[in-house]
Amino acid sequence: GAVVSQHPSRVICKSGTSVKIECRSLDFQATTMFWYRQFPKQSLMLMATSNEGSKATYEQGVEKDKFLINHASLTLSTLTVTSAHPEDSSFYICSAGSTQGNEQFFGPGTRLTVL
Amino acid sequence: QKEVEQDPGPLSVPEGAIVSLNCTYSNSAFQYFMWYRQYSRKGPELLMYTYSSGNKEDGRFTAQVDKSSKYISLFIRDSQPSDSATYLCAISWNFNKFYFGSGTKLNVKP
């Protein structure tokens, strides 16, 4: 199956700093990438959908100025958590949709801990 | 009302048992139904997806969709300790936006 990577896998930062998470589709072109957030023992919550070359579409309640998404190419999307606070600590997972549009492939996730 | 509901469990079964995992959904317009397996601290991996109604089998796994009842199921035969994970159902209209269940944690005891 298709491979999606995320970097870093784990990050610990101080409150007030910004953190960038990369999501790459390694062996296919992803027209659409999705960013999810998952709290412990809870399901995935879709944060935003990004299409290559255009602005991301954010879900209701997700602050677009806080969670900056850039989808610069068909293989790379980045999520930047700006001025992170402890309540932003979570597991962030990206997924990529193929150009055929019939499946989503998930990355391994990034665990963010804000002290 | 949430788009999809799933019993969080946990579900504990002995090795070799048949496992039944279920979700209900709210809107009959959904057409794609997926089951993902997620190990602790890992991203979800797709197990199976089904379009519209019916059954789909892959090895020890069978996915079943009953659109009249808005009910989807995943059956695992001859369950193994390596099947211990959280199982997430997901539904979609067009693969562009997924709605996930809360996940059922399964523990298969040797």
* pLDDT tens string A8-26: 999 999 999 999 999 999 9
Q: Tell me how far apart the alpha carbons of residues B1 and B86 are, in angstroms, rounded to a whole number.
A: 23
The answer, yes or no, to whether residue B74 has pLDDT greater than 90, is yes
The answer, yes or no, to whether residue B93 has pLDDT greater than 90, is no
Collapsed DSSP state (helix, strand, coil) of residue A87? helix
Residue B97: which of A49, A102, A106 has the nearest Cβ? Answer: A49
Residue A103: which of B42, B46, B103 has the nearest Cβ? Answer: B46
Across the A/B interface, how many CB contacts are shorter than 8 Å?
A: 53
Q: Mean pLDDT over all residues of chain A? A: 90
Phi, psi of B17 (to 5 degrees): -75, 160
Residue of B nearest to A90 (CA): B41
| Confidence label for A95 from pLDDT (cuts 50, 70 and 90) | very high
- Model pLDDT, residue B69: 92
